[in-house]
């Protein structure tokens, strides 16, 4: 899977395939790219043990998109370029906007109701995927006109979760 990520304000590309991870910052030299084998194991609620090239890391999910890795806190945003919610299109548009699942997962919470007015960037639905919780946010100010999922539902990548007008 390929993702666009922003870590502490620095955009990059992240590719995860069959136990290999490739990370490349945008506008950097090829020598800045990292490619490593890795494994990950849940170590508790919101805590993972990561083994990469013989080094062990403890990653803990914090609030508001922050992740602590061995005690150092990073602000992390992850975007799936296959979805319509990538950072380049997140400025919000006119008309109907759909909110899609970025990857397969399970809906943890539905934060809004049909007919509810929402602000741009307001959380709508929380999806747990790859042991991380992702809050799907409204791409624009408007009204929720459709909810196509419920808490506890399993979703596939690209499934429409909500529609905002």
Q: Is 133 helix (H, G, I), strand (E, B) or coil?
A: strand
Express each pLDDT in 7-60 by its tens digit: 887 888 888 888 888 888 876 555 678 889 889 888 888 888 999 988 999 998
For the chain, domains (ranges, CATH) are 2-79 (3.30.700.30), 93-164 (2.40.50.100)
Residue bearing the bigger pLDDT, 137 or 27: 137
Q: CB-side exposure of 18: number of CA atoms within 13 Å? A: 0
Q: Which residue carries 């922003």 as its tokens?
A: 6
Identify which of 68-77, 108-117, 121-130 has the greatest average pLDDT. 108-117
């Amino acid at each position: 899977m390929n993702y666009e990520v922003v870590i502490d304000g620095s955009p990059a590309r992240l590719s995860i395939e069959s136990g290999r991870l490739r990370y490349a910052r945008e506008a950097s030299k090829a020598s800045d790219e990292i490619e490593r084998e890795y494994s990950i194991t849940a170590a508790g609620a919101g805590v993972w043990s990561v083994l990469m090239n013989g080094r062990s890391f403890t990653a803990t999910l914090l609030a508001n998109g922050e992740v602590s890795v061995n005690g150092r806190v990073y602000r992390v945003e992850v975007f799936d370029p296959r979805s319509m919610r990538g950072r380049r299109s997140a400025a919000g548009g006119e008309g109907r906007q759909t909110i899609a699942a970025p990857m397969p997962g399970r809906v943890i919470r539905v934060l809004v109701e049909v007919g509810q007015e929402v602000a741009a960037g307001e959380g709508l639905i929380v999806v747990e995927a790859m042991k991380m919780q992702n809050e799907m946010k409204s791409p624009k100010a408007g009204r929720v006109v459709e909810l196509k999922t419920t808490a506890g539902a399993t979703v596939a990548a690209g499934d429409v979760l909500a529609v905002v007008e």
